[in-house]
Structure 1
């Protein structure tokens, strides 16, 4: 009779992070890799603040001068 041996689960454990710290590290590592490849994007809130500052400066220039 042949004996049944379960598959090695160490490769599955390495592929899937177990807790939130490991998941967070993987997200950070993936973001750094994306940024190094040139896939960096500016957050929307930064663009909104820059637009508001430019419009505010333009309005101040018009009304105060």
Structure 2
């Protein structure tokens, strides 16, 4: 595994540089996700699907037991 404190050539990097690189990678990832969503390549997050499933099952159980 590579050491985040060292660059590609092995030179020392300051923690501020490591932090800024991390922020830039995060911003790039967010930009790419927004571009995918604008093209219509979005996906529904897993937590949303889980919430929908729980609501459907709870509604079905309420219908069965309260009828």
TM range (shorter): 0.5 to 0.7
Q: Distance in 2 between matches of 1:47 and 1:20?
A: 30
Query: Structure 2 regions of 5+ residues with no counterpart?
Result: 1-19
Find the partner of 2:44 among 42, 50, 60: 42
Give the structure-2-normalised TM-score. 0.66
Aligned residues: CA RMSD: 1.1
The residue aligned with 1:53 is 55
Q: How many residues align?
A: 48
Q: Which has the higher contact order (CA 8 A, sep 6+)?
A: 2
Structure 1 residue 50: Cα displacement: 0.4
In the aligned structure 1, how far is the partner of 2:54 from the partner of 2:30? 30
TM-score between both structures, scaled by the size of structure 1: 0.68
Structure 1's unaligned 5+ residue stretches are: 1-17
